[in-house]
Amino acid sequence: MKRANPMRQRLAALGLLGVPLLTYPLLSLPQGEIAGIPAPYLYLFGMWILLIVLAAVVAERRGK
């Protein structure tokens, strides 16, 4: 059996990490507002951006 590419494994692990971070139990933890923006929105978009940045880092390191 052919072994999966390490980059694909890292991206799959990143996706699996993102699932629990973006589901209801963790989305309901932040309360209140920060600078007039509801904290759950900041958490949601912050985690989303973090996952995108991590995926970009993994994809860019493929040649190294």
Res 55: pLDDT: 95
DSSP-assigned states of every residue in 1-64: -PPPPHHHHHHHHHHHHHHHHTSHHHHTS--SEETTEEHHHHHHHHHHHHHHHHHHHHHHGGG-
The two most distant CA atoms of the chain are separated, in Å, by 54
For the stretch 36-47, pLDDT in tens is 999 999 999 999
By residue count, the chain amounts to 64
pTM, rounded to two decimals: 0.85
